[in-house]
Chains A and B, each alone.
Chain A
Amino acid sequence: MATEGATVHAIDLTVNGVAHSTTVPARRLLVHFIRETLGLRGTHIGCDTGNCGACSVICDGQLIKSCMMLAVQADGCEIETIESLGEGPDGLDPIQEAFKEHHGLQCGYCTPGIVLNAKTLLAENPHPSEAEIRRALKGNICRCTGYVNIIRSIEAAAGAQGA
């Protein structure tokens, strides 16, 4: 039986544009690496079973759940978390601006994952229909809003991107 600390693995990855070279034990989840090792607490842990999507981050341009991936598997990858959005302490990304404007959040716990979901969705499909937005949100659970304002926010963000 392997024991903690018996082996660590060297990983090189980029998080929000910053290169990190470090070592991790095999069993360390990417979400724990992001939150605890890097101190980026905007990535949340909700269910910890891959259902709620609160831990969603962008890995090499694609949305993933960071509680369903080992940190060692992110070796060589480019990770973007919610902290990568916006410029400066008060500057919001247009998607965040739309969520603020259209009340796309209440408690805010699911919001980082949902905003990153919207970012990757709009990158793939700049003008999604309401049905496409709803389907895209399948992996992100919100227990406050009933989703209506989230969908309005994403539609507004798509509109703000222009044609």
Chain B
Amino acid sequence: MLLAATEYVRPASLEEALTALRANTGARVLAGGQTLINVLKHRAASVDLLVDVSRLAELRFIDVAADGSAVIGAATTYAELERSAELRGAQPLIGEVAAGTVDRQVRVRGTIGGNACFADPSSNYPPLLVALEASMEIAGESGTRSVPASEFFLGLYRTAVGPGELLRAITLPALDGAGVGYRSLQIAADSWALARAVAWVRTAAGSPRTIEAVRVVLGCVAGAPVRAGATEELLAGGPASEQAVSAAAALAGEGLQPPSDVHASSSYRREMTAVMAKRALLDAIGGAS
């Protein structure tokens, strides 16, 4: 397919990239291109200038601190996340999710920042970043501002990144003993999901252990990730038992109106969301220390 005509620039620095984005309102950031190139083929968006940030060292790094917190450059590829032994120790889900994204070819080119900024409801990272309470570091003319992931994803294909800005990095707080579970109902291995739930759980000692803090975030059900508030409320302060999890997870899909399509009806997605929430919670409790 012939792409619509466009211009291209590969800036040598973040500053140059921001200058290019400010100078042209029709400019778009190009990272791995594993979505954007298809958008251009289908002429679904009109782009006057592609600002290729894929080789910027300022956007392509993994820094894991001694306490287990991490900063990941937005243009870091899935393959790089998958290979990082440091990340595997401190933030294991980031690499696991990368390893299960689409296929080998896409993992070589696709980036975590691109996944977040595309903000498709079935994108792998948005619900995980919300559950981990990640900070999205957005660079613009007056420096970098930090936006909590929960305020970054605004809706279908919409994020807090404004004109003349770009996502520079993602900061992840240390897990510090919290467990994280990530469950997706997928059509096939590594393919996109019909339902997805991510759980983050901190437990306190006891027999059974009690749930000190919990976050349950759902993907694929709305334009942006959704917190399962009723599930969280029922679990917080209670026992970390399978029975409690079953009762609370059953509430996860309540009030949601997920989309219906050829792969799954809305009610099926809602039911499976509760199943994914239960499994993610049990995984998170199992991983918490």
Contact = CB atoms under 8 A, between A and B. Distances in A.
A136 B104 contact: yes
Contact of B108 (A3, A49, A64, A73): A64
A68 B114 CA distance: 14
Contact of A135 (B5, B7, B109, B190): B190
Given A68-B33, A69-B109, 19 more contacts: A1-B46, A2-B48, A3-B5, A6-B5, A7-B8, A26-B5, A29-B3, A49-B38, A56-B105, A64-B108, A69-B33, A72-B8, A72-B52, A73-B33, A121-B104, A138-B102, A138-B190, A139-B103, A139-B105
A117 B7 contact: no
A139 B104 contact: yes
Contacts of B188: 138
A27 B104 contact: no
Contacts of B34: 50, 68
Given A68-B34, A73-B52, A139-B102, A62 B108 contact: yes
A53 B103 contact: yes
A26 B104 contact: no
Interface residues of A, number: 36
A44 interface: no
B104 A9 contact: no
B235 to A, nearest CB: 34
Interface of A: 1-4, 6-7, 9, 25-27, 29, 48-50, 53, 56, 59, 62-65, 67-70, 72-73, 75, 117, 120-121, 135-136, 138-140
B44 interface: no
Interface residues of B, number: 33
Contacts of B104: 63, 117, 120-121, 136, 138-139
B7 A7 contact: yes
Contacts of A67: 37
Given A68-B37, A68-B38, A73-B33, A25 B105 contact: no
A52 to B, nearest CB: 11
9 contacts: A1-B48, A2-B49, A6-B7, A9-B8, A27-B6, A49-B41, A53-B103, A72-B52, A139-B104
A50 B106 contact: yes
